[in-house]
Amino acid sequence: MRVVVTVMPKPGVLDPQGRAVGHALSNLGFAGVGEVRIGKVVVLDLAETDADAARAIGEDMARRLLANTVIESYRVTVEA
Amino acid sequence: MKAGIVLFPGINRERDMALALERAAGRAPRVIWHTETDLDGLDLIVLPGGFSYGDYLRCGAMAAQSPVMGAVRAHAQRGGHVLGVCNGFQVLTEAGLLPGALLRNATLRFIAADATIRVERNDTDYTHRYRAGQVLRVVMAHGDGNYYADAATLDRLEGDGLVAFRYCDAAGDVSEAANPNGSARAIAGILSRNRRVLGLMPHPENHIDPLTGGTDGLALFESLFAASYA
């Protein structure tokens, strides 16, 4: 199964990279850009064939390595 | 006190650290490869600076999972001393041996410059050769040194006296202008609850010789190797 783990900085955690990109977008003429947050996406191909089991593995991976839950939140989705 | 330095792939400050330890202790530290798990006979484990595993995923994240870190954690739980500088501090937070995290510098820039930090307390194994409030000139060289923890954790660190060093100006005053990387409450270094684990971003090991810019860092190592303090 393909498991996608999306990791984002938690609300309230400074994201200077996102802020700089937001500033650059404004300079390019994109009006009305509010907050910009930058995270990362980890795409995993797992041998597991059961969707719920694959999601559980992804959650475990996110908790133990892929995200630092002090500063980041994560979301795990399973693709067929 | 017998010291060892842990080498992760991508570390580049181990030689400077070894010099500082040798100068203070009178003998060279043991070098520990990241796959080793036997730390018997060592009292102080040092995680030096650099870019372990190329800073992949997050600074220190990969190193925190390496075999040696299980042994370092056990060493800390036994009450052993662990010093993490720069990337070593990042590894200690990623491994959960110190609270909080190091974010990208608020300026988004890698900062390689002199900094001044204030000794917050001098009744620890790491700082008793300094005066409380003493201002040290040290060098910093990092892109991700912006200390972050939630407000409750910061309050606990302050309340328990676990802030070891703060960025400050030459007079010892803390201000936004004197906080180069945007760290929460200008924190440059913190201690564990038992004050045996210290993590800090600046490099005391680079200020141990007048020929290379000053000696303000040497007393940290001398503190560690001194027999005892009152």
* Rg value, chain B, Cα: 16
Record the tokens describing residue B83, joined without a space. 């010093």
CATH architecture of A2-79: 2-Layer Sandwich (3.30)
> Choosing among A44, A61, A70, which should be mutated to test the B contact, i.e. which has the most B CBs within 10 A?
A70
- pLDDT tens, residue order, chain B (230 aa): 899 999 999 999 999 999 999 999 999 999 999 999 999 999 999 999 999 999 999 999 999 999 999 999 999 999 999 999 999 999 999 999 999 999 999 988 999 999 999 999 999 999 999 999 999 999 999 999 999 999 999 999 999 999 999 999 999 999 999 999 999 999 999 999 999 999 999 999 999 999 988 999 999 999 999 865 54
Q: Decide if B104 and A71 are in contact by the 8 Å CB cutoff.
A: no
Looking at residue B229, its pLDDT comes to 54
Closest alpha carbon within chain B to A72: B101
Q: Which residues of B touch A38 (CB under 8 A)?
A: none
As separate numbers, helices (DSSP H) first and strands (DSSP E) second, chain A gives 2, 3
| Sheet with B163-167: strands ordered across | B30-33, B3-7, B44-47, B81-85, B197-200, B187-191, B163-167, B111-119, B135-142
Average pLDDT of chain A?
A: 95
> The tokens of B209 are what?
């010789």
Number of CB atoms found within 10 A of residue B178's CB:
19
Spans of chain A below 50 pLDDT: none
DSSP classification of residue A49: -
Residue B228 pLDDT = 56
- N residues, chain A: 80
Question: At B216, phi and psi to the nearest 5?
Answer: -65, -20
Q: How is chain A split into domains, by residue range? A: 2-79
How many CA atoms does the CB half-sphere of B7 hold within 13 Å? 11
- Other beta carbons less than 10 A from residue A37's beta carbon: 15
Chain B's closest residue to A68, CA to CA, is B94
Distances (CA, A) of A11 to A15, A69, B26, B101: 9, 12, 49, 15
CA B151, CA A13: separation in Å to the nearest integer?
A: 11
Strand order, beta sheet including A2-9: A40-45, A2-9, A72-79
B203 is catalytic: yes
User: Please, where are the H alpha helices in B12-103?
Assistant: 14-25, 67-77, 87-94
pTM, rounded to two decimals: 0.94
User: Which amino acid is residue B30, in one-letter code?
Assistant: R
Q: B57 to chain A: which residues are within 8 Å by CB?
A: 65-66
Residue A71 to residue B148, Cβ atoms within 8 A: yes
Contact check, Cβ <8 Å, A70/B93: yes
Check if B59 is active-site. no
Residue ranges of domains in chain B, CATH in brackets: 3-227 (3.40.50.880)
Residue with tokens 């500033």: A23
Residues of B in contact with A16 (CB under 8 A): 104-108, 182
pLDDT of amino acid B230: 42
Separation CA B11–CA B197 (nearest Å): 20
Q: Which of the residues B75, B86, B128, B142 is marked catalytic?
A: B86
The residues that bridge with B91 in the sheet, in sequence order, are none
CA–CA dist B143, B80 (Å, integer) = 29
A71·B57 Cβ contact <8 A: no
